[in-house]
Amino acid sequence: MDNRIHLKTPDEIEAMRVAGQQAASVLRLVRDYVKPGVTTGELDRICHEYIVDELKAVPAPLNYRGFPKSICTSLNHVICHGIPGDKVLKDGDILNIDVTVIQDGWHGDTSKMFYVGEPSVKARRICEVAHQALLTGIEMVRPGVTLGDIGHAIQAYAEGQRCSVVREYCGHGIGRGFHEAPQVLHYGRPGEGVVLEPGMTFTIEPMINLGKRHTRLLPDEWTVITRDRSLSAQWEHTMAVTDDGVDVLTRLPDDEL
């Protein structure tokens, strides 16, 4: 990976906004299909057809380093990079759907948690804590803040809720590349790391576990689960640093963060 951070021009950020809005629209479309009895493979098909046929965009994960599907579907104790397939959703499951589209060469990357039927108290709680962890990170973004400041804020919040932050997987710079510099860790020390400046574009996507933070990679070499099989949740947005704050490119105009 190129370790240089590519600052984007206003026009490039607007092009990224188009891709970001399209990615967000995929999550909005698929939410009505997330219900008991549906397979994750069916969700992948629905998203793939919408991305290709309606949006005239490219699903970035498909064939990326050999990934076989167009979205990631991470269920219950799966932290990230779950591969859609024959798994049937059942009442009480929680599901992360991660969507990245490429439009005119630019990437938009976002994910949300979905409840399948009625979640347990614990399942609802981990989703809510992970969502607030994302908001905590976004609220920190402005010129002069360091990535360590952002990571520390996320970590302090999540651990204060008696949850843990996954360390092996993180946010990333994004633009014409799916994964660009810098890495955006969801833990850290105040004042350390890259200093934010206008034109930086990256994702924040904290993976929060109800149990311990340790992970295990399954033999498919993609699916990551919690080692203690505790529930895990994640939310993600792509954003740009502005002159005085942050612009969330994957937030639809009428959507909450």
Kindly state whether residue 5 falls inside one of the protein's structural domains.
Answer: no
Kindly state whether residue 248 falls inside one of the protein's structural domains.
Answer: no
Kindly state whether residue 215 falls inside one of the protein's structural domains.
Answer: yes
Instruction: Report the CATH number that the domain containing residue 203 is assigned in CATH.
Output: 3.90.230.10
The total number of structural domains in the chain stands at 1
Length of the chain: 257
Kindly give the confidence (pLDDT) of every residue in the chain, 257 residues in length, as a single tens digit, with 9 standing for 90 and above. Answer: 578 999 999 999 999 999 999 999 999 999 999 999 999 999 999 999 999 999 999 999 999 999 999 999 999 999 999 999 999 999 999 999 999 999 999 999 999 999 999 999 999 999 999 999 999 999 999 999 999 999 999 999 999 999 999 999 999 999 999 999 999 999 999 999 999 999 999 999 999 999 999 999 999 999 999 999 999 999 999 999 999 999 999 999 999 99
Does the reported pTM lie above 0.95?
yes
Kindly state whether residue 224 falls inside one of the protein's structural domains.
Answer: yes
Range of the structural domain that residue 212 is part of? 11-243
**Can you give the pLDDT at residue 1?**
57
Kindly state whether residue 249 falls inside one of the protein's structural domains.
Answer: no
Kindly state whether residue 202 falls inside one of the protein's structural domains.
Answer: yes
**Can you give the pLDDT at residue 3?**
85
Kindly state whether residue 222 falls inside one of the protein's structural domains.
Answer: yes
Kindly state whether residue 211 falls inside one of the protein's structural domains.
Answer: yes
Which residues, other chains included, contact 168 with Cβ-Cβ below 8 Å and sequence gap of 6+?
215, 224
